[in-house]
Amino acid sequence: MTDRALAVVRAGALTTVQDRGRPGHAHLGVPRSGALDGPAAALVNRLVGNRPEAAVLETTLNGCTLRPRSEVTVAVAGAPCPVTLDGRPVAWGAPVRVPAGSLLDVGTAVSGVRGYVGVSGGLAVEAVLGSRSTDLLSGLGPPPLTDGAVLPLGTPGRPHARVDVAPQPAPPAELVLRVTLGPRDDWFTPDAVRAFTARTYRVSSASNRIGLRTEGPALERTLTGELPSEGMVLGAVQVPPNGRPLVFLADHPTTGGYPVIAVVLAADLPATAQAAPGTPVRFVAVRRR
């Protein structure tokens, strides 16, 4: 087993290939996609010596199990979890040498939701519109991993990082999202707008890569008519008919017909990737920059 490939022994609940995504194609109806926790994906690439744009694996809740066909360096970050190599514990958040044929198991998240697995050389699946990312909404990119799948690997570049453990933020105990109000906040009553930024919501178990759904007080509208479909951006907080805010994430649709009460600041979006169901959510209004 000397070829540059990675065999998937256990795919886990939802494991996808992700990179920086494919921005710039919204006019074609194509979402940007890409890793939900961009800093965690960038970290595992740095740890294994990859370029920042290299493709990694994004796991959901219960990890995955992998067997490389040649010696590789692997790093796991994002949601903290146990990592074992041939049944023996190895470091999380640090580069690990994995011999050809060995079994690397990325376990269930201790906290948080999404883990990131970087492999030296990066995942060399076919790029679509300049990205190797899996897009769950449009179906572009490679399909979610299945047991028995084999992923090609690129050629390793720089030496891996020389660190014991790389520091990274813990998953949020409370998700605080800074927002700029608008463009459709005038579709809601003043009391609803105040409630949006004063009350606490919780992350719904129905959340996914398309959007973070919330549970909490319904927001009352002043305008009840239909809104013509308009363009949607990453971080848009749309309010569907149930009145509960929905934050659009990487695989979000490029258009929508429900009013957008606010937009989340880009710097706060990575934390949404690690907010488990039930996590308190607060929206904090800030001025436009």
The answer on pLDDT for 212 being more than 90 is: yes
Model confidence over 114-155: pLDDT tens digits? 999 999 999 999 999 999 999 999 999 999 999 999 999 999
Q: Which residue has the higher pLDDT, 100 or 227?
A: 100
Gap between the terminal Cα atoms of the chain: 54
The model's pTM is 0.95
The answer on pLDDT for 1 being more than 70 is: no
Model confidence over 231-277: pLDDT tens digits? 999 999 999 999 999 999 999 999 999 999 999 999 999 999 999 99
Which residue bears the tokens 């990890």?
Answer: 63
Contact (Cβ atoms closer than 8 angstroms) between residue 84 and residue 107? yes
Distance CA 109, CA 62 (A): 6
Going along the chain from its start, the domains and CATH numbers come out as: 5-152 (no CATH), 175-285 (2.40.100.10)
pLDDT tier at 78 (50, 70, 90 boundaries)? very high
Model confidence over 146-185: pLDDT tens digits? 999 999 999 987 777 677 667 888 999 999 999 999 999 9
pLDDT value of position 164: 63
Model confidence over 21-30: pLDDT tens digits? 999 988 888 9
Helices (H), the chain: 38-48, 190-198
What's the 3-state SS for 113-129?
A: CEEEEEECCCECCCCEC
The answer on pLDDT for 2 being more than 60 is: no
Query: How crowded is the C-beta side of 224, counted as CA atoms within 13 Å?
Result: 2
